[in-house]
Amino acid sequence: MNDQERQSSKKKQSGGGKGILIALGFIILMNVISAGGGGVILFFFAIALIIVILVIAVKAGKKAAQKKSAESVPVRWTRPDNDRRQNAPKPVERPVYTPQAVYNENASAENFQRDRQRRIAQLDGFLKNGIIDKEEYKVLLSRYERNI
């Protein structure tokens, strides 16, 4: 149970004493009337008791009306101050990469030169590691240069 439900149940339980006072006052008044004039003091006492009971009843009615009007107004929910979304770090703006297409007319010649240098480096590695001998190296090197 949350706090609001506890408070409303306590308020409901505490209202029983007023009904008992009203019933007691009514019984005393009936006894005074049925006694056939038990004295002027008892008569004034009964009238004072009725006035007190009426005042208590009117105050209780006003409280009940205020309580009813307060309950009918919906409670507006507010976001707590320590909300995660408010304290979240803002995303960092990063530069947007937009590639630009550039046409290179010499691309095929550059690729051919790079390919030739790789093949010659590979041949040098084969000769150094002993995979091919010196004569075979010269034959393959002349073939690469002829294709150029």
> Could you read off the pLDDT of 24-46 as tens digits, one per residue?
767 776 776 676 655 666 677 77
Can you read off the two tokens belonging to residue 45?
A: 């006492």
State how far the Cα of 34 lies from the Cα of 40, in Å rounded to an integer: 14
Compute φ and ψ for 45, nearest 5 degrees. Answer: -65, -40
> Could you read off the pLDDT of 58-99 as tens digits, one per residue?
888 888 888 777 666 566 666 666 666 666 777 788 888 888
Decide if pLDDT at 56 tops 80. Answer: yes
State how far the Cα of 86 lies from the Cα of 80, in Å rounded to an integer: 10
State the pTM of this model.
Answer: 0.31
